[in-house]
Amino acid sequence: MTATRRYDEDLRAIGQALEARDVSVFELKRLTDWYIINSMPEQTESVRSKLWQWFGQSRSGSSPEALTLGLADVEKLTQAGRARRSEPDQLPNVHSVSNSLRTIGAYLDSKEVELLELHKRRISITLSYRDKAGQEHKEDRAISSFNNLFKELYGKRGQTQKNSAMQESK
């Protein structure tokens, strides 16, 4: 198994890039030092509109948007994201793509696994990962099932910020 990444940071940065492109439904694959993301159309249209969309895509040759990011690209996105975060006491939006992915990344980090694939839909997610023994696992979960972990992470972040502020005032 390759060295474990900090998925909470990587996935948050990727989530911010996807938010900038207004992408919330996608498939992400991790290949060694690369993340490959394919956006997917929202599944809220009628059957008729889906058929028209499919017909239009097949005639025009267009397909869902693809984004490929190397680890250096993700690091740049992480640095840019840190520079933009200016209100540390503001409660983050648990439903944003970046915070959802950060929380899911922290979940993967806590399990000490290697991410293989992540399929995000409007209200659910499918995770594929490999554990330290080399066994592959797949989980289908509601995104809301990560809410308690999000609250725990936010609480830890708030405590860390308070401790840092106390250290600076001494």
Domain residues of the chain, as ranges?
Answer: 7-169
Q: What is the pLDDT of residues 45-78, one digit of tens each?
A: 445 555 555 555 544 444 557 888 888 888 888 8
Integer Cα distance of 27 and 126 in angstroms: 9
Q: What is the pLDDT of residues 91-113, one digit of tens each?
A: 566 678 999 999 999 999 999 99
Integer Cα distance of 115 and 121 in angstroms: 17
Integer Cα distance of 67 and 116 in angstroms: 16
Integer Cα distance of 27 and 104 in angstroms: 14
Name the band, by pLDDT with cuts 50, 70 and 90, for residue 131.
Answer: very high
Q: What is the DSSP letter of 91?
A: P
Q: Average of pLDDT values for 78-88?
A: 70
Helix or strand or coil: residue 117? strand
Task: Count Cβ atoms below 10 Å from residue 40 Cβ, excluding itself.
Answer: 15
The pTM for the full model equals: 0.72
Q: What is the pLDDT of residues 136-156, one digit of tens each?
A: 999 999 998 988 887 887 776
Integer Cα distance of 29 and 14 in angstroms: 12
Q: What is the pLDDT of residue 58?
A: 46
Taking the CA atoms of the chain, what radius of gyration do you get in angstroms? 18
Question: What are the residue ranges of helices labelled H in 27-146?
Answer: 47-60, 71-84, 97-111
Task: Tell which residue, 97, 149, 151, has the closest CA to residue 125.
Answer: 97
